[in-house]
Amino acid sequence: MSIRFDGRVALVTGAGSGLGKAHALMLAARGAKVVVNDLGGTVSGEGRSTSAADQVVTQIRSSGGEALANYDSVAEPAGARAMVAAAVEKFSRLDILVNNAGILRDKTFAKMEVADFRAVLEVHLMGSVLCTQAAWPIMKEHNYGRIVMTSSGAGLYGNFGQSNYGAAKMALVGLINVLKLEGARNGILINCVAPIAATRMTEALMPKHSLPHLKSEWVSAAVAYLASEACQVSGHVISAGAGYFARAQMMEAEGVWLDPHSPADPDAVAAAYDRISDLSNATAFGSAPEYIDKVLKRFATTATDA
């Protein structure tokens, strides 16, 4: 099997450097026409420049591919609409959206300015929401779409000093959990990567000896798969980096049943806490109704349900 994107059009946000650049190059090398979005700011989201996106477009074109630069911010509704419109205007369709643009404003929670919390949410969460919402009607019309969001171990598992970033990155998992249900009818599949790669955002934090292994291309391989027709899953989160690929999933313990007819008793919860938190027989749910059903099916249907 060879994954190709001939005839497909992709929009990759934040594609002027790091991971986004590698994603754009890989999609283009396999036949996609790519809109390379990047506002060309610093890691903390200051400033703007057209050169980052332009360089990637030049690189794609010089290898015989087709690409278009866009310099809008994903965090602005008009910007998100404009980059999607640019894809449709230039290439007549949009099949693939990779929500990758991101910034960092790290500080401990005690010292975190609300403005820095909001700025990070605006780019990672709202940027992904706005671009996805702009792309949605087009994908719906064609009954085809592949959307890849960019989460992070900082959100999935926590990272000191990144409350804003961790919250935004985990919010994307909540977003795909719902969009996988809403997109299914129209062939729109939505998945997430949680990357590990040495980029300008992370290089200084990674052990030096590991840097040669932490190439963005390893993450792009997962993104390209999730963006392809070969991918038939939706709602998956894939950790990817340095040749490591693994699905991450919210799990729920088997749990315990305390007597639902007697008054709620915090002492009983405390006494059962080891079993409540025991994940050894944990399971995953495909949706919230499935999860609620686990609880409610314990009770016999009564005449009032009819």
Provide, rounded to whole angstroms, the least separation between the CB of residue 171 and ligand NAI: 13
**What character string, x for contact with ligand NAI (CB under 6 A) and - otherwise, covers 6-45?**
-------xx-xxxxx----------------xxxxx-x-x
CA distance 191 to 107: 29
Determine the 3-state secondary structure of 70 from DSSP: strand
Provide, rounded to whole angstroms, the least separation between the CB of residue 305 and ligand NAI: 45
Q: Which helix or strand (DSSP H or E) is residue 141 part of?
A: helix 127-142
- Report the residue number, 144 or 150, with the smaller CB distance to ligand NAI: 150
**Interaction between residue 200 and ligand NAI (CB under 6 A):** yes
- Tell me which of 65, 166, 183, 195 binds ligand NAI, using CB under 6 A: 195
**Interaction between residue 239 and ligand NAI (CB under 6 A):** no
Residue nearest to ligand NAI (CB): 18
CA distance 139 to 133: 10
The Cα angle at residue 196 between residues 104 and 222, in degrees rounded to 5: 115
**Interaction between residue 235 and ligand NAI (CB under 6 A):** no
**What character string, x for contact with ligand NAI (CB under 6 A) and - otherwise, covers 96-115?**
----xxxx------------
Q: Which stretch binds ligand NAI (CB under 6 A): 136-144, 196-204, 248-256, 263-271?
A: 196-204
DSSP state of 232: -
273 tagged catalytic = no
| Beta pairing, strands 96-99 & 237-241 | unpaired
**CB atoms inside a 10 Å sphere around CB 124:** 30
3-state helix, strand, coil in the chain (%, to 5): 45, 15, 40
Provide, rounded to whole angstroms, the least separation between the CB of residue 226 and ligand NAI: 14
Please count the residues of this chain forming the interface with ligand NAI, following the rule CB under 6 A. 33
- Report the residue number, 13 or 132, with the smaller CB distance to ligand NAI: 13
CA 210 to chain CA centroid, nearest Å: 24
**Interaction between residue 127 and ligand NAI (CB under 6 A):** yes
**What character string, x for contact with ligand NAI (CB under 6 A) and - otherwise, covers 131-170?**
-------------------x-x------------------
The Cα angle at residue 128 between residues 124 and 134, in degrees rounded to 5: 150
Reported in sequence order, the residue ranges of 13-58 that DSSP labels E, i.e. its strands, are 33-37
For the chain, report the end-to-end CA distance as a whole number of angstroms.
51
- Report the residue number, 117 or 144, with the smaller CB distance to ligand NAI: 117
- Residue 195 structure tokens: 């990357």
- Report the residue number, 119 or 189, with the smaller CB distance to ligand NAI: 119
- Report the residue number, 14 or 235, with the smaller CB distance to ligand NAI: 14
Residue with tokens 């630069």: 69
HSE (side-chain half, CA atoms, 13 Å) at 140: 10
Contact yes or no for 23/110 (Cβ under 8 A): no
Q: Active site residue: 157, 165, 273, 291, which one?
A: 165
List active site positions: 165
- Where on the chain is the footprint of ligand NAI (CB under 6 A)? 13-14, 16-20, 37-41, 43, 45, 52, 73-75, 100-103, 123, 127, 150, 152, 195-197, 199-202
